[in-house]
Every structure is written in C-alpha cells, then in structure tokens.
Structure 1
Amino acid sequence: MDVSSFMMTPGHVMCDLEVPEGTDFLSIKNYYLDEFIHEGCTTVLTAFTLGYEYEFLAKWNERKTSLLNSPLDYTIGLKTSANLITPTVIRSCKRHKVPVVWIDIDEIDLFKEIRWGWIKGFLYDYPITFVPFFTTNIDIKTKMKHLKIWQNTMENEKIPHLSNEIPQKEPLRLKELKKIGIYPLRGNFLVGGEISYNLYMNIEGETGAEPSAFKTDQHVLKCTMNKGKCFYLNNRGYYYPGAGEELVIQTPGYFI
C-alpha cells in the first residue's frame, strides 16, 4: 500500500474537564463523535470536581461510573479550589492514582495560603502534577498577574506543575503528556503495542515525516485506528460504547 501521500501520528490525547455525564445515549454519542473521534482523539484527560474533603471518594467513583461506556480510553484528574489542597486530599489522590490536580486561581489570596511545605512531603513517591485554571472570564492583565504568581510559587517550592492552563479539546503536547505521565502509555508508537494511529493527508510539498509544528486544523484526517478498531474513515466516525478503559498512571513524570 502506497502511503507516501499520508502522514502518520499517534492517536491524540485531549483534555476536556466537562465530559458530559448522564443517560442520554444519543447526545453523549454525538458529543464523543463531534468533539473527539472526528478529531483523531483516542484518549481523554478529564476530571471530577470536589467541593468538600469528605466528598472525594463519592465524586471520584461518580466520575469513573460515568465513563464506563466511554468509547475512548481516559485518565481522571481532580479539579478543585485552592482551599481544598490539603494533606488529606493529596493522600487520597495518591491512594487512588489521580495524577493531575487543577487548582482554581481566580482568588489568588486563597492560593497563597496553601501550605506547600506539607504538600511536598506527600509527593516524593507519586509526583502529582498541578495545573492552574480559571472559572471566570477575568481580564487578561489580572490573569497574567495570577499566572505569574502561580509560576513563581511552584518553581520556588519545587512542586511538579504546568506553567499555564491546558487548552481544552486540543491535542496535548509531548511535554504535557510526559509531565502528567500519560506518555509513553499514549501519544507514542509502541513496538509490540496495540495498533493505534491517525493518518492525515499530507499538505502539498510535505513528505511523510510528521512536521514539528503539526496543526490538526491544517491537515485533513482520513483514518483513525485505535487498538485494532477503525474509529474514523472517509469522513465518518464510528462509536464503540464501552471500548475505552481507564488509563491508570503509576508514576507521573517518570520519563521527564
């Protein structure tokens, strides 16, 4: 088979903190097809939301249950406010292999009160990655100020982190995959592994190797194979309920 006109990439890993829950099969099916499968995504990074410490196990189980019929593999993180970054919550994250924690930094004063000295001691054998996020549309100047405080604090405290928000519903970059621990389990071609890849039609003038600045919106997806099943072919997506499985991260950041 002549594949010189195509470019091959690993299946994409995308972040979506609001993957829908519920029992409306048709709407959930269309969501996965439109937002993920038609974009060459084979693994989803999502999260459960925590409002109180005592809710951890219930909310974690609730999110896991909602993903049992997912057609795509998934990894579950935690999304919460700064006042819930406590030793109890971090211990629970380690116990249940939650590799990434999103912290709301809208209210930067709450973030400044986190006792990172205590938290750091729990991260030595399971280095959870912390990621900032905003819940409101604050102005760009305030946002940049808060991100700067975030970056300085995390670097000074030597806490595993990402410096900026993770873009939603876009392929995660290699450094993000490595930091969280998803790479090399996903986002990589593994010798002897499952048959999983995307085929894109090459832009005129490009040859088979993947370009360093690959952009999904500039290339035409033609085929997605995921673990031996065809998920996308000739402009049509295929939905396999329950085909996905949880991707458990044993050691975040091991390949950094």
Structure 2
Amino acid sequence: MIGMYIIEDANILKNKQLTECSLLIDEDRIARIESCFNHYRLMKMNVDPFIMTPTYVLFNSKIPHNESFPELKKYLIEHFLLKGCTTLFTYVDISYENKLTEKISEMKTALISSPIDFVIAVKIPVRLLTPSLIRSCKKEKIPAIFVELDNQGELEKIPWGWIREALFPYNCPLIPLISFSQKKEARDVLSKWKGIMVKEKIPAIYEEIEEKQPLPVTVLNKVGLFPQKASLMQGAELSYNLYVKGREINNVDEVKLFHYHGDRLVVTVHKGKIVRSGNQVLFKPGFGKNVEVRTPSYFSL
C-alpha cells in the first residue's frame, strides 16, 4: 500500500470553472484539500498537465446481466470504464411485490464480478405503488423507485398521504418513467406528477432521468450518492478522471467532457486504483461493490 501522498497542482473542473489545489491522499480517500502542501515530506504526484474531474455515475437500465461474463465484461468496458464511469445506476423491473427480493438478489449476483460499483433501484407500474411495496423497498435499502406512468388518471387514485408516511424516514425518491410516445401527453403527465409531488411533499425527481448519461449532482443527492460518489471533496473516495488540457475544453462542463472529449481522457482511478491508463483498461473482476445508501437526500446542497 502507498499510504499517504500528495496530488499537487490539480485543476479540478466544477461548474465550468477550474480550481487549482492540492489533495492529501490517505490510501483510497481524500484526507484534505489545500492550495498546497509545501511543508509535507511525502511523495508527490504532479497533475498540472491535466484537467481532473470526479468519475461519473451513469444511469443505464439495459445492462446485459443475463448474458455470459465475456459479454458483460465487454459491455462494462465500452460503456463505463472507457468513458470514465466507475459507478453504475440501474434498476430491476418488478411486476409483483413478492418478486422484489428475488429480483434484487438476481441482479446483485449477476454483477458480483463487476469492476465498478453499482446501485440497484426498482421499476414498478404505478398500480404497485403501495405502502406495502414501499416498506419492502425500505427493508431492502432501495435508494430509488422508478414509477412507470401511462395515464394521468392513475395518479389521482394513489393514497399519497399513506405513501408519504410509508417512505419516512428513509425517504427514497420516486422517479417518473414516461411510456407516452406523444410529447404533449408526456409533458402533461410530468406536469401532473410534479404538481402532486410538490403538493403532497413526496421525495421525488420531477423529470425523467436520461439513459446512458452521467447523473447530475441534484439527482445524486436525492438518491443519497452525493458526496459519496462523483465528488472530489474532503473525506470522499479517491475516484477521478484525468483529461489532457486543451484550449477547446477550458470552459466546458463535465457532461460535455463526457460526450465530446473522450479522446482526451487518459487516466481513470477508482477508489485509489488505476482502472484505465491510455487505451488500456485494467479490468478487476469483483472490485466493484453494491453501494448501500444509508439515507437518501441526507446531504443538503
């Protein structure tokens, strides 16, 4: 083990701004962040030629978890590790409440050899949104419930007061999934959804989450992953990307870096270990863990 060392002259990208600082690292965590650590007699790693970002948490509901290990490995390399993502956010599809534990267990088993961390939510039809189902989700520490909406009328029938009580105190957010193909209908049902969530004070996300996109901090916080994931803060795990500096990426945000400047990504570190160097991926089966969210929405932004 390396123990303590310093990452100096880091250019950390946050909200399109670069912050220059140095990080004191203790094993696989960020112990302190200062402008510099000149008086420390520790090994130093200079990263001034690079832009540093946290690694991404990516939402992807299409994980080939029932395929062979070589297929899953190929998918995780191409869609996650080569893109600087070290945490996967996905869900299992539940049609009957009594299948919840079994489905979650199946997904955990399928991802046991994953090199990246994973977070498992559930997806349900709106008819399954009951206090009983929510209590089962709390018992399993499910950090989010995706609710499939196919008509506005069903939202009126839900006993929202009971739902709010059942969610407390774990308060995992409800996330809408729209099955309408017409944009106007989708907008109308989302507007209805937001109105009910605000009025009833239900912990929720008001818009759909886009597939294969890095989760924004607002969503990460709601599901209880921030600042545990996707952050370079004091006390956080040491997971970061290094992009080669260039004039064209001086004023972009992390999402644009992810989508348009992947060719500049040269290093990805996950929990203190290099998992990608240049074009080489260091696939570590089982290095990923199921992330247990203790309290969603705990960190106040």
Asked if Structure 1 and Structure 2 have the same fold, meaning a TM-score greater than 0.5 normalized by the shorter chain, the answer is yes
Call closer, same or farther: CA 1:170–1:114 in 2, change over 3 Å.
same
Match of residue 205, structure 2, among 162, 168, 192: 162
Q: In structure 1, what is the equivalent of residue 232 of structure 2?
A: 189
Number of aligned pairs?
253
Q: Percent identity?
A: 34
Query: 2:181 aligned with 1:127, yes or no?
Result: no
Question: Which of 111, 136, 142 is the equivalent residue of 1:67?
Answer: 111
> Following the alignment from structure 1 to structure 2, what is the Cα–Cα distance between the partners of residues 206 and 134?
34
Give the TM-score taking structure 1 as reference length.
Answer: 0.92
Question: Which residue of structure 2 aligns with residue 105 of structure 1?
Answer: 149
The aligned counterpart of 2:22 is: none
| C-alpha deviation, 1:49, in angstroms | 1.0
User: How much has 1:56 moved relative to structure 2?
Assistant: 1.5
- The residue identity in structure 1 corresponding to 2:158 is I
Q: Distance in 1 between matches of 2:74 and 2:260?
A: 23
- In structure 2, do the counterparts of structure 1 residues 4 and 83 end up closer, same or farther at CA, with 3 Å as the change threshold? same
Are the counterparts in 1 of residues 92 and 123 from structure 2 also a CA contact under 8 Å?
A: yes
The answer for the alignment partner of 1:247 in structure 2 is 291
State the Cα distance separating 1:25 from its structure 2 match: 1.6
Deviation at 1:28, TM superposition (A): 0.7
Whichever residue aligns with residue 202 of structure 2, its letter is I
**Separation in 2 of the partners of 1:232 and 1:243?**
14
Match of 1:217 among 234, 259, 274: 259
One-letter amino acid matched to 1:161:
A
Q: Is the 8 A contact 1:178 1:255 kept in 2?
A: yes
Give the counterpart letter for 1:84 in structure 2.
L
Contact 1:9 1:199 in 2 (8 A): yes
Structure 1 residues not aligned, in runs of 5+: none
Distance, in Å, in 1 between the alignment partners of 2:54 and 2:254 is 15
| Aligned amino acid, residue 48 of structure 1 | V
Larger relative contact order, structure 1 or 2 (CA cutoff 8 Å, min sep 6): 1
Deviates more, 1:189-198 or 1:110-119: 189-198
Please list the CA deviations of residues 103-126 of structure 1 after superposition, one character each: whole Å capped at 9, or x if unmatched: 001233223322111010122211
Q: What's the TM-score once normalised by structure 2's chain length?
A: 0.79
CA shift, 1:3, in A, is 2.8
Question: RMSD in angstroms over aligned alpha carbons?
Answer: 1.8
Residue 27 of structure 2 corresponds to: none
Distance 1:95 1:199 in 2: 38
TM-superposed CA distance for 1:4, in Å, is: 2.8
Q: Does 2:193 align with 1:150? A: yes
Q: How many Å separate the matches in 1 of 2:100 and 2:46?
A: 52
From the superposition, tell whether residues 205 and 69 of structure 1 become closer, same or farther in structure 2 (CA, over 3 Å): closer
- The equivalent position to 2:89 in structure 1, one of 26, 31, 45, is 45
The offset of 1:236, in angstroms, is 2.6
The structure where strand makes up a greater share of residues is 2
User: Quick check: 2:228–2:236 contact (8 Å CA) kept in 1?
Assistant: no
Please state whether the residue corresponding to 2:213 is helix, strand or coil: coil
Contact 1:36 1:169 in 2 (8 A): no
Measure how far apart 1:212 and its partner are: 4.7
SS of alignment partner, residue 283 of structure 2 = coil
**Distance in 1 between the 2:171 and 2:248 partners?**
43
